[in-house]
Amino acid sequence: MSQMVIQIDKKILSKMKSYYSSSMVSSIPYSVFTAKKNDTTITAYKSGKVLFQGKNAEKEASNWQSLDQPSLKKGVSKPSRTASSSSLPDHFSEWSIIGSDEVGNGSYFGSLPVCAVYAPKEQHSLLKSLGVRDSKNLNDQQIIQIAKQLETQVLYALTVVTPQKYNEIQPTMSQGKMKAILHNHTLLKLLKQIDPIHPEAILIDQFELPSTYKKHIEDEEKQILENVYFKTKAESSHLAVAAASIIARYHFLKSLDELSEEVGIRLPSGAGIQSDRVAAKIYNRYGMEGLERTAKIHFANTQKAIVLSKE
């Protein structure tokens, strides 16, 4: 499921609320409104952050970006030495870099793992031989098999946010800011681990504008921004990101297995109707505490599950 977060002012928020008035659904905690339109769920928060989730998330968000602050217009930021644009240098795929990616942010159930992998050019052949490629082209069994081998072969850092921790943090910040801080934290851990080695670059799978990412981490004590590049679908641009995605996906699947065992109900990935039905069962059996333990409760699935639980 595609996802995008933008920051808007009060004037645009008012226009947005009016525009989506006929598409409103049950609001989630801490939100101004939640609407569903064009296969996309739109959730606006009092902070001015708006989360777009669904098949047409980026397209729907772009309708509002052009109306908002200059820094968000057209969804493009000017290239800089610290936070690069989405264009990559020639032969970038051959560089020795750190790749960073997160998994699980679009799934109602399960954790949010962020992984960073250092892939020197000397290891590229090994990664290919292990089957490293875009994780979207791998099934769960392949993910598990490759990830277990990767963890013994590459230098990597991992940060896993459980649903309980996620639900503690989420009311205080947007998901975009949370992910930015997690990426920065994970990159710091890996850079410390590989010191004194200096990668030629860092590539983050882009989930928001580079300028927004930089703003999100500006209060962090240490900010990793030098030679950082951002690119959507970065898994196909460098093996380091593909490897990071595979390891992150593996730990997301592990969290689903562990949480399923805890509640005695098989938890699905994603945020579709199946998640609503499973959430309703958990709510009937354990109440809201059960959902807080297993799911990201600010998703619209929570309210849908509560409604289903009464049927």
The domain defined by 3-72 carries CATH number 3.30.310.10: yes
Is there a common fold for 3-72 and 92-257?
A: no
Give me the residue spans of the domains in the chain. Answer: 3-72, 92-257
Tens-of-pLDDT digits for all 311 residues of the chain? 567 778 888 888 888 888 888 888 876 666 788 888 888 888 888 778 888 887 788 778 877 865 544 333 333 333 344 445 457 899 999 999 999 999 999 999 999 999 999 999 999 999 999 999 877 788 999 999 999 999 999 999 999 999 999 999 999 998 999 999 999 999 999 999 999 889 999 999 999 999 999 999 999 999 999 999 999 999 999 999 999 999 999 999 999 999 999 999 999 999 999 999 999 999 999 999 999 999 999 999 999 999 999 87
Q: Are 229 and 241 spatial neighbours (Cβ–Cβ below 8 Å)?
A: no
Q: Which CATH class is domain 92-257?
A: alpha beta
Please give the pLDDT value at position 234: 94
pLDDT, position 76: 32
The pLDDT score that the predictor gives to residue 44 is 86
- Sheet harboring 228-231: ordered strands across? 155-161, 112-119, 97-102, 201-205, 228-231
Alpha carbon distance 49, 52 (integer Å): 10
Q: In terms of DSSP H, where are the helices of the chain?
A: 10-19, 57-65, 124-129, 140-153, 163-169, 175-194, 210-216, 239-263, 273-286, 288-294, 301-309
Instruction: Please state the pTM of the whole predicted model.
Output: 0.74
Region for residue 38 given its phi and psi (left: phi exceeds 0; alpha: psi -120 to 50; beta: otherwise): left
DSSP bridge partners of 228 = 83, 202
